[in-house]
């Protein structure tokens, strides 16, 4: 059974760096045609696609965040890390990681429960 | 840009719900997906590549369309279908979501 779970701080100060870790279970990001995507949702608003890392370490980012956003594998094989630098209150929201694979056209098919992050001084 | 309509849909149990998603440019390979999000929950994948149901999705959910016009139809609305529905294009980068359609039961 594929599961994912996000972990990290729930409160971050403006200008600091947000780091959210996604722990993977039931699959490996080393398997061909597999990926992990990130999506966030400001309170009461729509979903926003952030980025995606593929099994071969290829990555795609939202252009609006590309200069501040990094998605990496590790530190363990069953983890993916999202790093967002110089955060602003507009970065407040629930951050989700999700499994994806080629058979579903690389859309998020299994989601973590999400982690709620507030950016405030 | 994906534009969903209507913003809110209020129907009686058993009625048919028709949700629209319009893209500002043609969606590559019809890589259009639909998600359902209930209050306080993570989104759930309903449909991918326009008309393919995800695992465990009942056949009263149907996706259709091509190019720039896509539709999600829910036949026989059930109270458990109360949620916000999002379309999502995965054909080109950056991927995008629509702003959502809220489905309510009268």
Residue (of A111, A25, A38, A117) closest to A76 by Cα position: A25
Are B97 and A48 an interchain contact pair (Cβ–Cβ within 8 Å)? Answer: yes
Q: How far is B6 from chain A (nearest CA, A)?
A: 15
CB contact B93 to A (< 8 Å): yes
**Contact between A114 and A96 (Cβ < 8 Å):** yes
Residue (of B34, B55, B30) closest to B100 by Cα position: B34
Cβ under 8 Å to B: A residues 31-60: 39, 46-49, 52, 60
* Rounded distance between C-alpha atoms, residue B28 and residue B66, angstroms: 9
User: Tell me, what's the pLDDT at A110?
Assistant: 97
User: Tell me, what's the pLDDT at B84?
Assistant: 98
For A112, nearest residue in chain B (alpha carbons): B42
CB atoms within 10 A of CB B53: 16
User: Tell me, what's the pLDDT at A47?
Assistant: 98
* Rounded distance between C-alpha atoms, residue B65 and residue B68, angstroms: 8
Chain B residue numbers touching A42 (CB-CB < 8 A): none
* Rounded distance between C-alpha atoms, residue B25 and residue B53, angstroms: 24
Distance of CA B103 to the CA centre of its chain: 11
Cβ under 8 Å to A: B residues 49-78: 49, 52, 54-55
DSSP A53-65: EETTS-EEE-TTT
Among A63, A107, A110, select the one facing B88 at the smallest CB separation: A107
Rg for chain B (alpha carbons), in Å?
13
User: Tell me, what's the pLDDT at A34?
Assistant: 96
Q: What is the pLDDT of residues A83-97, one digit of tens each?
A: 999 999 999 999 999
Tally of CA atoms within 13 A in the half-sphere of A11 that contains its CB: 2
pLDDT of residue A37 exceeding 90: yes
Q: How far is A21 from chain B (nearest CA, A)?
A: 17
Average pLDDT of span B67-92: 96
User: Tell me, what's the pLDDT at A60?
Assistant: 94
Q: What is the pLDDT of residues B29-49, one digit of tens each?
A: 899 999 999 999 999 999 999
- Please name every residue paired with B20 in a beta bridge, in sequence order, or none if there are none: B5, B71
């Amino acid at each position: 059974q594929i599961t994912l779970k996000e972990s990290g701080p729930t409160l971050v100060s403006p200008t600091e760096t947000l780091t959210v870790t996604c722990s993977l279970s039931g699959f490996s990001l080393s398997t061909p045609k597999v990926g992990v995507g990130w999506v966030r949702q400001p309170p009461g608003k729509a979903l926003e696609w952030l980025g995606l890392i593929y099994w071969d370490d290829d990555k795609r980012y939202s252009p609006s965040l590309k200069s501040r956003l990094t998605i990496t594998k590790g530190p363990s094989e069953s983890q993916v890390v999202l790093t967002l630098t110089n955060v602003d209150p507009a970065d407040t929201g629930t951050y989700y990681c999700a499994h994806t694979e080629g058979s579903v056209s690389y859309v998020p098919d299994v989601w973590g429960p999400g982690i709620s992050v507030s950016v405030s001084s | 840009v994906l534009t969903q309509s209507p913003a809110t849909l209020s129907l009686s149990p058993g009625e048919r719900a028709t949700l629209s998603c319009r893209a500002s440019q043609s969606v590559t390979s019809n890589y259009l997906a639909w998600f359902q999000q209930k209050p306080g929950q993570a989104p759930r994948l309903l449909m991918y590549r326009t008309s393919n149901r995800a695992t465990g999705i009942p056949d009263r959910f149907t996706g259709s369309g091509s190019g720039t016009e896509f539709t999600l139809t829910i036949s026989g609305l059930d109270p458990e279908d109360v949620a916000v529905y999002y379309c999502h294009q995965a054909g080109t980068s950056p991927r995008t979501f629509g702003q959502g359609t809220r489905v309510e039961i009268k």
